[in-house]
Amino acid sequence: MAQLTYRDAVHAAIAQEMRRDSNVLFLGEDIAAAGGVFKTTVGLLDEFGKDRVRDTPISEQAIIGAAMGAAMTGLRPIAEIMFSDFFAVCWDLVANQIAKTRYMTDGQCSFPLVIKSANGGGSRFGAQHSQSIENWAMAIPGLKVVAPSTPGDIKGLLAASIRDPDPVLFFEQKSLYATKGEVPDDEHVIPLGKAAITREGDDVSIVALAAMVPRAEKAADILSNDHGISASVIDVRSLVPLDTKTILEDVSKTGRLVTVEENPRLCGWGAEIASIVAEELFWDLDGPIVRITTPHIPLPSADALEDAVLPSTERIVKDVLKLVD
Amino acid sequence: MAQLTYRDAVHAAIAQEMRRDSNVLFLGEDIAAAGGVFKTTVGLLDEFGKDRVRDTPISEQAIIGAAMGAAMTGLRPIAEIMFSDFFAVCWDLVANQIAKTRYMTDGQCSFPLVIKSANGGGSRFGAQHSQSIENWAMAIPGLKVVAPSTPGDIKGLLAASIRDPDPVLFFEQKSLYATKGEVPDDEHVIPLGKAAITREGDDVSIVALAAMVPRAEKAADILSNDHGISASVIDVRSLVPLDTKTILEDVSKTGRLVTVEENPRLCGWGAEIASIVAEELFWDLDGPIVRITTPHIPLPSADALEDAVLPSTERIVKDVLKLVD
Amino acid sequence: MAKYKPKLNPEIRLNLYRTMSECRALEQRAYDLFMQNLIKGTSHLALGQEAVASGFGNAMREDDYTFCTYRGHNHTYVRGVSMTSILGELMGRECGLLRGKGGSMHLMSMDHGALGSYAIIGAHLPIAAGAAWSAQYRGTQQAAVCFFGDGTTNIGAFHEALNFAVIWKLPVVFVCENNLYMEYTAISDVTAVANPAADRASAYNLDPILIDGNDADVVYETAMTALNKAREGEGPSLIEAKTYRHGGHSRADPGKYRPDEEVEEWKKRDPLDVYRKRLLKLGIDAKSIEKIDAETEAKIDEATEIAKNSNPPPLDIADTDVWADGSSTWRN
Amino acid sequence: MAKYKPKLNPEIRLNLYRTMSECRALEQRAYDLFMQNLIKGTSHLALGQEAVASGFGNAMREDDYTFCTYRGHNHTYVRGVSMTSILGELMGRECGLLRGKGGSMHLMSMDHGALGSYAIIGAHLPIAAGAAWSAQYRGTQQAAVCFFGDGTTNIGAFHEALNFAVIWKLPVVFVCENNLYMEYTAISDVTAVANPAADRASAYNLDPILIDGNDADVVYETAMTALNKAREGEGPSLIEAKTYRHGGHSRADPGKYRPDEEVEEWKKRDPLDVYRKRLLKLGIDAKSIEKIDAETEAKIDEATEIAKNSNPPPLDIADTDVWADGSSTWRN
Ligand SMILES: Cc1ncc(C[n+]2csc(CCOP(=O)(O)OP(=O)(O)O)c2C)c(N)n1
Ligand SMILES: Cc1ncc(C[n+]2csc(CCOP(=O)(O)OP(=O)(O)O)c2C)c(N)n1
Ligand SMILES: [Mg+2]
Ligand SMILES: [Mg+2]
């Protein structure tokens, strides 16, 4: 078991899968010679050569189209969209073509491809390079959606995404790239669709994703140490498929649900989970369902402003206290 | 008061506003000489001339970009995206540029523009011409989202959208184009952000949008006539701004909420409303919150299949009975 | 580049004719079935444009790929897909190619290399490039052929796909069927150049190729040359084939925005009439032609009968096959 | 078209020099402030590309519009925006042009016709066309100038905007600053033609215009001609200006992917050095030049001081100005 950064775990997963299967190809802007603008893919070009690791022009529709055409003819492409905000320039390929073609053709073809992308705020990049768009993806039938919070999960879930027979949008959270954690050296694959309970608790279930997970964990620690409140923390990890079983079991135990979303408020993934719990677990609830999200605004750039709007540990603690007290 | 079709009410609204304000321009594919593929804009070219009513190439990014540039320099463009599915080819302009630029520039500019589009299923057009994407729009901070269900509302709300100083995504529901209703002959403007209670009830609140409104109303009639259940029906009309006041008041009276969405399940607008009610009205609820949606699938084309998956009056009746009994 | 010289022997010529005749019958029948309200929704016919589909269909290798648009009945048919399954799909029946899940605009048959009909303008150009990339990587010498309309040359994806295909030297043939109109708007009203594809070839370092799309021989020969170039590793081609649709854009459209004389002019250049005359002139006897027409007639009648008698699809397929495991399940 | 012949008198020349000198000082200071960690986030400098911004800035009418990219400090500055407000924005301070809400990549000043910096490739080309459409409709003879990079020529929006501007004859000038690189990838590795903009002009029925983007005089004259054409109702131009950025793509990038000789070669062609020499050769005395440099120095120092002493923005502006009423309220 090595200590790796989240950034290096991305490399570890891709290298593991490219070694295993020569049908895995990788394309994107500045991913080959330069090793990626977030340095997640350094060395892949050298190891796997320029037929398998390819720099592209700034043509996101071509990148995603190429991945789609390759996937439907037997290959397993990984495409990179540099910042997740840029999904907007190729959304037709993603949401209308890749997501729907298997269904529309009565199951004639599959799309074993991964689109990986740097997601989320906290880097003072401003409103067009900081969005959390996992809820855009979740809203589209036919897409799987994965967003890990630890280096170990990055390796295991990215490997599983590459092996998955369906299209996966894989979100790497920018603010986590430099974080470190244990990553198995050997082949490591974590099945999609399993949430992880990272803190067990009795009073309230805090459900979080990606960069919000460490904040929720810290909040749970504070709640426990300073306030005697026992909170479980569930790292959703994969929005589609969604591990409702783990969430429902935990909430039925605690009786209270708080979701922590980095995406702006309206139609976030937390709303979906809230609606499931409000329908299926209504009689087990001991109090309102609380959603903590970034307000429904574009993200500001200045550090002071950005920090003020992203859900913070303090805000989680405060909102949970309000709910539980 | 004339009886107009929903289709003709679109024309009435645009004509009313173009007569009033010479800064209102209209552009889109086949909207001028041909009068629109849904025949909503017949006659506008003749009345207002080719400087104000302009056919474009198949260049949705150019269409929306042109509208944005015109809006920020003093005009009030209306742009048409022929089918709402095609927002995916220009989503960057809509979601990243138009929606965010006012905020990012500290309020230096406004975008008084409308993007109108034919939305929704029921026409056997298949998965790429039938989507209800109002939830895509609702998820983006900076966009207003309007989706009327009657000809009268089309005229009043489209007029208000054109006068609004902010960008409005205006959804015309394809399956309603041929429906008729009363439309005031005189100037008619309905403020955005007001839901309409179209049936008053005591036992359950059914919240619906666009094509789902007549189905909800029919269901309410059946529930009342055949089952003695009194359901209110709330036509949301505008998702942003959202009239939570009307919804919360009605649900606090009935104690039960059912939402009826045409969009696929995950992260639909109904989830947002469910989460608001589950948070703010929890103690007033008498039972679970139920969401009725199209399943989380692309829409099939064949009539039998499409009818089977879109929320039907029968399904609304059945689900309400399950909830209330 | 090794120059390939296609040989237009009588057998090939009769095949070109037969394919056009079958396409014509198929779509004319589709039109009749609309009129009888047996086809719901929309449909986009290519009556008058059969020479393009036929020329390419006959020139392609069985394992080549095609990508086409909502106006793709013919392009799908020429790959070997049955008339029954096409008509069945248009009618939303169980015997349909996609059992009604896709409809008229989304015909696809992986088994025949017909890799889909795409209904949103431009999308399939980069996808075709992707399939060509796959063939290149796998070293199979397959080519991908991508059909689209004149209106499609003004959307962003066209530009991205062309540049991308050229820099990666992909074995893909882009075929612009210039039928002079988008939906109801003349392409010349909204395009900066006279020939929307050919006049842009140089922007991608490609040769301009502008051909008579109503002449099946010309299309066939051009197709052969471009496919051969692709297989030889010499990269993509962009072909503009001038043609015309006899009817409106889609079911709902009578096509009244077009001058009568223009329609008449082009109907005189009907690719089937033109070709029938040429065959006779070349000494092919009228009998062989009549035989083909009769066989076509029998074929379409039989297909219609089967499709009409096919059931609506079972409702439970509506929630299958979102995922590769056959399900549509998004939760446990 | 009425041919406009710009007159390069000494005053204009000194203005061109002064603008370059100020741009250089502004961005060099921005660089220093990064190094001191006073600027967070990212930033994209155009050190070495000043002649383009200067040439256009001096040629434009006050009421013309500019649209630029994340690499847009200079293009914004040349419209008259103060150094203080630019540095303040980069540092996320209250005195910032956008009070920290936009950041380095989104400079805009409506008051100065600087209609925004756009951070997603391609988007602003159609937006600039839209502003030009507005000017055309209002009959103001304003022009819109849209700056972008070589890499931007390969994205779909480029293609749509160019075609659109030409068919509507819009008063917009598209300026491609070809600095040979996208982020870390050479444009020649991913582009089908040698001159990514100029070699594509014919695809939009435009003349190819390829100029030395490091020569402020050439840029100024080309700008004057294109702006004049736009004002005369003769439609858009597409200009490719060859230039080079001295540093990396952004803050994080040392630019090591570029051959040393190439960097050296281009540094020899530094637009300020070139121009200084020319001024001297033309007989303008060294004193005037030194005076400009000194004034620039004082100006940037003063701006830095003010910006450094400015407070962080008040936190309550974070939820204002989503809407025209000043609020971010989405419910009642
Ligand atoms: C992105 C997008 N915009 C608009 C449409 C609506 N639409 C369908 S077909 C068509 C015209 C296409 O013209 P052309 O490419 O010439 O093909 P043709 O129909 O003539 O075969 C349009 C505008 C669409 N399907 N997709
Ligand atoms: C749609 C999109 N794709 C990718 C990026 C990331 N990106 C930012 S700048 C850049 C390079 C742009 O190159 P060029 O157009 O030559 O401009 P330059 O930076 O050289 O001024 C890239 C790829 C982006 N911002 N938007
Ligand atoms: Mg056409
Ligand atoms: Mg560049």
Q: CA C17: distance to chain centroid?
A: 16
Which DSSP helix (H) or strand (E) runs through D50?
helix D50-59
Confidence check: pLDDT of C4 > 80: no
Q: How far is the CA of D183 from the centre of ligand 2 (A)?
A: 6
Q: What is the pLDDT of residues B117-126, one digit of tens each?
A: 999 999 999 9
Tell which atom from ligand 1 comes closest to the C-alpha of B37.
6
**Low pLDDT (below 50) residues in chain A:** none
d(CA C274, CA C122): 31
Show Cβ contacts of residue A257 under 8 Å, excluding neighbours closer than 6 positions.
A204, A205, A207, A251, A273, A274, A277, A285, A289, A290
Whether A191 maps to a domain, the answer reads: no
pLDDT of residue D3: 58
- For chain A, the chains sharing at least 3 beta-carbon pairs closer than 8 angstroms are B, C, D
- DSSP letter, residue A135: H
pLDDT of residue C252: 79
Q: In what order do the strands lie in the sheet with B53-55?
A: B53-55, B24-28, B76-83, B114-119, B168-173, B144-146, B238-240
Among A55, A125, A309, select the one facing D189 at the smallest CB separation.
A55
Residues B95-101: what's their mean pLDDT? 98
Tell which atom from ligand 2 comes closest to the C-alpha of B92.
1
Q: What is the pLDDT of residues B42-84, one digit of tens each?
A: 999 999 999 999 999 999 999 999 999 999 999 999 999 999 9
pLDDT of residue D4: 65
Same domain membership, residue A170 and residue A27: yes
Contact C134 A69 (CB under 8 A): yes
Residue A270 DSSP SS3: helix
Task: Kindly report the nearest CA distance between residue C257 and chain D, in angstroms.
Answer: 20
Nearest chain B residue to D164 by CA: give it.
B62
Confidence check: pLDDT of C3 > 70: no
Question: Nearest CA to B258 among B209, B190, B211?
Answer: B209
Q: Is the peptide bond before B241 cis (omega within 30 degrees of 0)?
A: yes
The strand pairing partners of A165, in sequence order, are none
Length of chain C: 332
Show Cβ contacts of residue D294 under 8 Å, excluding neighbours closer than 6 positions.
none
Among A74, A92, A141, select the one facing C322 at the smallest CB separation.
A141
Task: Kindly report the nearest CA distance between residue B243 and chain D, in angstroms.
Answer: 6
B contacts of A99 (beta carbons < 8 Å): 298
In this structure, the residue with its CA closest to atom 2 of ligand 1 is: C121
D contacts of B110 (beta carbons < 8 Å): 324
Nearest chain A residue to D149 by CA: give it.
A58
Q: How far is the CA of D179 from the centre of ligand 4 (A)?
A: 5
Confidence check: pLDDT of B216 > 60: yes
The pair phi, psi for residue A127, each rounded to 5°, is: -65, -20
Q: What is the pLDDT of residues A140-155, one digit of tens each?
A: 999 999 999 999 999 9
Whether B191 maps to a domain, the answer reads: no
Tell which atom from ligand 1 comes closest to the C-alpha of C49.
21
Nearest ligand to the C-alpha of residue D49? Answer: 2
Top residue of B267, B272, B280 to mutate, by most chain A CBs within 10 Å, is: B267
Domain membership of residue A108 as a residue range: 2-183
The pair phi, psi for residue B29, each rounded to 5°, is: -80, 125
State the ipTM, two decimals.
0.98
d(CA D53, CA B308): 60
Q: What is the pLDDT of residues C179-201, one digit of tens each?
A: 999 999 999 999 999 999 999 99
Same domain membership, residue B112 and residue B27: yes
C58 within 8 A of C7, measured Cβ to Cβ: no
pLDDT of residue C208: 98
Confidence check: pLDDT of C322 > 90: yes
Q: Are strands B204-208 and B231-235 parallel, antiparallel or unpaired?
A: parallel
pLDDT band at C8 (very low <50, low <70, confident <90, very high): confident
d(CA C259, CA A164): 54
Same domain membership, residue B149 and residue B256: no
Q: C-alpha distances in angstroms, C249 versus B213, C33, C66, C246?
A: 33, 17, 22, 9
Which class for D311: exposed (0-12), middle (13-18), buried (19 or more C-beta within 10 A)?
Answer: exposed
The three-state DSSP-derived secondary structure of C153-204 is: HHCHHHHHHHHHHHHCCCCEEEEEEECCECCCCEHHHCCCCCCCCHHHHHHH
Same domain membership, residue B160 and residue B274: no
Task: Determine if the pTM surpasses 0.95.
Answer: yes
- DSSP letter, residue A92: I
Structure tokens at D136: 């055309």
B216: CATH: 3.40.50.920
C67 within 8 A of C115, measured Cβ to Cβ: yes
Output the average pLDDT for chain D: 96
Residues B91-103: what's their mean pLDDT? 98
- DSSP letter, residue B93: I
Same domain membership, residue A107 and residue A38: yes
Show Cβ contacts of residue C142 under 8 Å, excluding neighbours closer than 6 positions.
C61, C63, C64, C65, C135, C171
Which DSSP helix (H) or strand (E) runs through B310?
none
Question: Nearest CA to C73 among C320, C300, C325?
Answer: C300
Asked which of C35-44, C90-99, C262-271, D288-297 is least confident by mean pLDDT, the reply is C35-44
Structure tokens at D2: 């009425």
Output the average pLDDT for chain C: 96
CATH of domain D10-24+51-179+186-248+262-299: 3.40.50.970
Among D40, D99, D191, select the one facing A124 at the smallest CB separation.
D40
B98: CATH: 3.40.50.970
Q: How far is the CA of B196 from the centre of ligand 1 (A)?
A: 37
B contacts of C41 (beta carbons < 8 Å): 123-126, 301, 303
The pair phi, psi for residue A111, each rounded to 5°, is: -130, 75
Top residue of C185, C251, C257, C311 to mutate, by most chain B CBs within 10 Å, is: C185
Whether B190 maps to a domain, the answer reads: no
- For the Cβ of D121 lying below 6 angstroms from any atom of ligand 2, the answer is yes
Among D134, D317, D332, select the one facing B74 at the smallest CB separation.
D134
Residues C143-153: what's their mean pLDDT? 98
pLDDT of residue A196: 98
Structure tokens at A217: 């964990």
Length of chain A: 325
Same domain membership, residue B169 and residue B47: yes
Which DSSP helix (H) or strand (E) runs through C104?
none
Confidence check: pLDDT of D148 > 80: yes
Same domain membership, residue A24 and residue A154: yes
Looking up tokens 């190619």 gives: C97
More confident of the two residues C199 and D254: C199
Residues D319-325: what's their mean pLDDT? 98
Ligand 1, residues B58, B85, B91, B92: which to mutate, most atoms within 8 A of Cβ? B58
Select from B127, B162, B183 the last residue of a domain. Answer: B183
Question: Nearest CA to B88 among C69, C121, A272, A58?
Answer: C121
Whether B189 maps to a domain, the answer reads: no
Residues B7-29: what's their mean pLDDT? 98
Same domain membership, residue B200 and residue B178: no
B9 within 8 A of B151, measured Cβ to Cβ: yes
Structure tokens at C167: 């820099």
Q: What percent of chain D has pLDDT over 90?
A: 95
Same domain membership, residue B91 and residue B41: yes
pLDDT of residue D1: 45
Chain B interface includes D70 (CB < 8 A):
no
Top residue of D163, D195, D200, D238 to mutate, by most chain C CBs within 10 Å, is: D163
Structure tokens at D232: 């005369």
The structural domain count of chain A equals 2
Select from B148, B183, B218 the last residue of a domain. Answer: B183
Same domain membership, residue A19 and residue A143: yes
Same domain membership, residue A214 and residue A163: no
Show Cβ contacts of residue A199 under 8 Å, excluding neighbours closer than 6 positions.
A217, A220, A221, A231, A232, A233
B173 within 8 A of B221, measured Cβ to Cβ: no
| CA quadruple C114, C120, C125, C129: dihedral sign | negative
Same domain membership, residue A168 and residue A62: yes
Structure tokens at A310: 């992203």
- How many Cα atoms sit within 13 Å of A289 on the Cβ side? 34
pLDDT of residue D121: 98
In this structure, the residue with its CA closest to atom 19 of ligand 2 is: D182
Structure tokens at A67: 């991945």
Select from B131, B151, B183 the last residue of a domain. Answer: B183
List A11, A129, A188, A296, catalytic entry? A129
pLDDT band at C1 (very low <50, low <70, confident <90, very high): very low
